[in-house]
A and B are shown apart, each in its own frame.
Chain A
Amino acid sequence: MVESKIRVLVAKPGLDGHDRGAKVIARAFRDAGFEVIYTGLRQTPEQIVAAAIQEDVDVVAISLLSGAHNTLMPKIVNLLKEKGAGDKLVIGGGVIPDDDIPGLKAAGIAEVFTPGTPTSVPIEFIKANVKK
């Protein structure tokens, strides 16, 4: 058996067209040795979950700047659970008010990273929390 690679889906749900952050994080993840599947802009939660399952990723990293995080992030977690893929680590990043973070965590988002976080922080978080 070879050392298994951590596979991460970087997803951009909803309508905002800003994927600079998603691309920066995708690159940082690649440089950390992860295999990153990037699905592009304006994905529905259903598309993201289908891709996460087919790609058998360990982590779903959701980048969201539109303000719809309270709706879309929990929806992705719930859909994953419905499809029997509730074991995947779901993390979020973007412009997310501090007040919303406890609610997101209660909804199953393992961690939320806000602007200014060094890319090493989510990388270390993933390494520490992926079940391998």
Chain B
Amino acid sequence: MAIARLITKAENEDPEATIALRQLYPKTGRAFLVGITGPPGSGKSTLTDKLVKELRKRNKTVGVIAVDPSSPFTGGAILGDRIRMSDLALDEGVFIRSMGTRGSLGGLSQASHAAIKILDAAGFDYILIETVGVGQSEIDIVKTADTTVVVTVPGLGDDIQAIKAGIMEIGDIFVVNKADRDGADRVVIELSQMLELNQNMGEWFPPILKTVASRNEGIIQLVEKIDAHKDFLNSSGELIIRRKERISNEIFNLILKRVSVEIMRKLAEDNWENELAEILEKRKNPYDVIDRVIKELLQ
């Protein structure tokens, strides 16, 4: 109950959430964060459901953050990931929260980072973050997971191209779901060829697994790979590097956000409308104005 309310406060940028997060922060860092991303319809929710069940068999508690896009027009959203996870609703060791992207600049990543910390401090062993792998903000969240699982399916045609452009670099584990369909082996081959082309791969070569999540096939192997990657991150020191990068990005984004609010407030005070008119009439140019604003700001 308290967890749920606090996440809402964080989503609404309620100052009480920041106060709580200050106190919670020292208790974070125990949970292992797994990002799950892939195109719509690739079976991420079903896969997440089965992963949670397998982790529960191993006596691990699991938090799930399921992110779906908000409508850019109305700000509303239909968050349907729970449909695939309804058997988990009554399990005390599982907490599922659906979040809309709410569209705005970095808003999603801020709220989801807060939600992750809240679940982490609450003591969940694993936190799974499920997002559609399209769009920068979704990729940002997934990028900050300890282990990122990229899900695809056979028969999407140009989808491999999309993966190549966007999220090929961030996958620690690749899953070809719905692998009972024709073409699964070809997707595996294409993925492995693309991975081999990746330079500076480091010591971890991302495994490619075939699953049929709806029939629970390949799930044990996936959990084993996640744990293998977890061990690798720990033994190689990579975990600390990743987490340092994550907190650095998060702090930077929060500072940017606060500063941009300040800038907007200041501009509004500074007779901004008139200045804009002058710029449009070419009596001023944008670049001088930018220099002046920054100079004033840094004073």
- A residues neighboring B (CB under 8 Å): 1-5, 7, 26-27, 29-40, 43, 46-47, 50-51, 53-56, 83-85
Contact = CB atoms under 8 A, between A and B. Distances in A.
Interface of B is mostly: mixed
Given A53-B4, A55-B98, A35 B14 contact: no
Nearest to A42: B86
B20 interface: no
B53 to A, nearest CB: 15
B76 A47 contact: no
Interface residues of B, number: 34
A76 to B, nearest CB: 13
Which of A40, A47, A54: most chain B Cβ within 10 A? A54
Contacts of A46: 89-90
Contacts of B5: 56
A27 B90 contact: no
Which of A3, A29, A37, A50: most chain B Cβ within 10 A? A37
Interface stretch (B77-85, B163-171, B262-270): B77-85
B18 to A, nearest CB: 11
A1 B107 CA distance: 12
Contacts of B70: 35
Interface in B72-100: 74-80, 82-84, 86, 89-90, 95-98, 100
A31 B4 contact: no
Nearest to A39: B82
A84 B53 CA distance: 28
Nearest to B92: A50
A-B pairs, 7 with minimum CB distance: A40-B83, A30-B76, A56-B4, A47-B89, A4-B12, A50-B89, A56-B8
B94 to A, nearest CB: 9
B15 interface: yes
A29 B104 CA distance: 20
B13 interface: yes
Contact of A53 (B1, B12, B15): B1
Given A1-B12, A56-B5, A56-B8, A40 B76 contact: no
A55 B74 CA distance: 20
Nearest to B66: A37
A38 B97 contact: no
A51 B79 contact: no
Which of A43, A56, A83: most chain B Cβ within 10 A? A56
